[in-house]
Amino acid sequence: MHPSTPEPPSHLPPSACAAPRYSGRIAQLHTWSGQRPWLGGLLTVLSGLTILLLPPGGVAVVVLPGVAGISALLLGGLLIAGGLSLLSAPHRHGVLGIATVLLALASFASTNLGGFVIGMLLGIVGGALGFAWNPPDPRPATNQ
Amino acid sequence: MISVKISDDRTDHRPSTAPQPDPAISKSVSRPVGARRAESSPGSPTSAVARDRGHTQWSRFTALLLPSLLAVLLLGVSAASGAIPIALAGPARHALKISMTSLTARSATTGPQRYQTRDGQRHTEVVVELRGLRVNGLCASLRVPTPLGAYVLRITGPHADLTLTADDLTFALDNLDGLGVLGRQLSLHSAESTLNGPLTHTSDPGFLPIQLGNMTLNIAITLRWITARNPHLRVLTLAGGRRQRECF
């Protein structure tokens, strides 16, 4: 007579080792975040929003004519687009990361001190994170 | 009675035709998650777990972040010394508080001018020109509400005896929402009109000499543009922050 013992896990395929440890939407989010520099993209989007919205309404005692008046809109929009591109096109993370850092630096002189420095620093850190991200390695695992 | 012991070195209980599992993988499955994660390094037998996710290479992160922070530092120093201009722009209006020990200038105001923006709206502006501007003991502060609290931008002359000068300061006054004046001395054209003759005898025809002493202004205005010729701004100190005090 054999007792009812649990099936040993050895029947699992090798790929089960890399199976997500979560289920449902959390598993999807886990997989999605592993395929792209999500933190760099998120910080870059926040940077663009900060430059656009901080301070609310801006400072208007001195309103400069020309490109300075629309630079917050331009740079904030470009940073938001860069952050979304980091999330949607992660294979271009190198170019997008450097471009994000340059845009954030340019915002200091042209848009309310780069969103009172907060937006600029968010953009620099987000761009550096995007630049430093390494994509998943498509090579199969090697067992030694 | 047969007892079955499950162990890592399983060797029986399966038909011989079944695929033999990899001992390393079996260990990986039977171990806790934390232990598996700790072993997931490139080159290890369980590196497949690490390869299906991207990761950050911190050396590249540092290589880009450090020069950027250095550039931020240089930008800050350059902006504070006036080497690079800083643009502050936006659609809202905030009160500007100005106090000064003395101001002398010759002013001229052109009649209202009209301009049209791209959206088709017509606006009226008044252009004010100040020549030979000399200001002592200047303090100007601007309080801007932000989601993180009120942010105060404060410009001060470090010493009352240092003079801020500009040969020609011209600005276009787009809107004047409020003006509060408190001062001890306000002289318009005093030197030329009362002592030296009529208005036409001024050195700058059409310009009105202005002299203010111990003046406090609380104004809410919108300037459309401003230009300055030969400004000497090095005596000014620009400070900003949530803990900065306003001038008054």
Which stretch of DSSP H or E encloses residue A86?
helix A68-88
The torsion angles phi and psi of B115, rounded to 5 degrees, stand at -145, 160
Q: Do A69 and B53 touch (CB under 8 A)?
A: no
The answer, yes or no, to whether residue B135 has pLDDT greater than 60, is: yes
> B54 by DSSP, 3-state: which?
coil
In degrees, to the nearest 5, what angle opens at C-alpha B28 toward C-alphas B26 and B32?
Answer: 125
Instruction: Give the per-residue pLDDT at B204.
Output: 60
Tokens standing for residue B14: 């399966």
Q: Fill in the amino acid letter for B184.
A: R
Please indicate whether residue A10 or residue A125 has the higher confidence score (pLDDT).
A125
- The model's pTM is 0.49
Q: What is the ipTM of this complex?
A: 0.75
Instruction: Give the per-residue pLDDT at A64.
Output: 46
Rounded Cα distance, A132 and A39, in Å? 11
Phi-psi region of A108 (alpha: psi -120 to 50; beta: other; left: phi over 0): alpha
Rounded Cα distance, A93 and A130, in Å? 5
Strongest mean pLDDT among A22-26, A90-94, B104-108, B154-158 = A90-94
Q: What pLDDT digit, counting tens, does each position of B63-101 carry?
A: 999 999 999 999 888 876 666 766 665 445 566 788 887
Least confident of B70-74, B175-179, B237-241: B175-179
Interface test with A, best of B39, B58, B144, B171 (most A CBs within 10 A): B144
Rounded Cα distance, A12 and A88, in Å? 34
User: How far apart, in Å, are the Cα atoms of B122 and each of A57, B117, B125, B158, B209?
Assistant: 22, 7, 10, 42, 32
| Nearest neighbour of B90 by CB, restricted to A112, A127, A135 | A112
Number of residues that make up chain B: 248
From chain B, pick out residues whose CB is under 8 angstroms from the CB of A140.
Answer: 48
Q: What pLDDT digit, counting tens, does each position of A33-92 carry?
A: 889 999 999 999 999 998 887 654 444 444 444 455 577 788 899 999 999 999 999 999
Which stretch of DSSP H or E encloses residue A109?
helix A93-110
Tokens standing for residue B7: 């162990």
From chain B, pick out residues whose CB is under 8 angstroms from the CB of A58.
Answer: 88-92
End-to-end CA distance of chain B: 94
The distance of B218 to chain A (nearest Cα, Å) reads: 12
In degrees, to the nearest 5, what angle opens at C-alpha B223 toward C-alphas B83 and A72?
Answer: 60
In degrees, to the nearest 5, what angle opens at C-alpha A57 toward C-alphas A51 and A63?
Answer: 90
Strands B237-241 and B149-156, by their bridges, are antiparallel
Is A44 an 8 Å CB contact of chain B? no
The total of other beta-carbon atoms located within 10 Å of residue A18's CB is 19
Nearest to B98 by CA among B157, B162, B151: B157
Which stretch of DSSP H or E encloses residue B136?
strand B122-136
Angle (deg, nearest 10), helices A38-53 and A118-132: 160
Q: Do B92 and A60 touch (CB under 8 A)?
A: yes
